[in-house]
Amino acid sequence: MLSETMAIGGSQFAANYRDPHWYAVQTCANHEKRVRQQLDLRVVETYLPVYESVRHWKDRRVRLELPLFPGYLFVRLALSDRLQVLRTPSVVRIVEFGGKAVALPEHEIETLRRGLTRELGVEPYPYLKVGRRVRVTTGPLQGFEGILVRKKNRSRFVISIDLIMRSVAVEIDVAELEPIHGSVQSVRTSAGT
Q: For the whole model, what pTM was predicted?
A: 0.79
pLDDT at site 157: 92
pLDDT in tens, 118-171: 567 788 999 988 889 999 998 888 888 899 998 888 889 998 888 899 999 998
**Cβ 155 vs Cβ 173: under 8 Å:** yes
Cα separation, 193 vs 114, in Å, equals 18
Q: 55 - beta bridge partners?
A: 62
- For residue 88, what pLDDT band results from cuts at 50, 70 and 90? very high
E-only strand ranges, 29-144:
45-47, 50-56, 61-67, 72-77, 91-94, 96-97, 100-101, 103-104, 122-125, 133-136
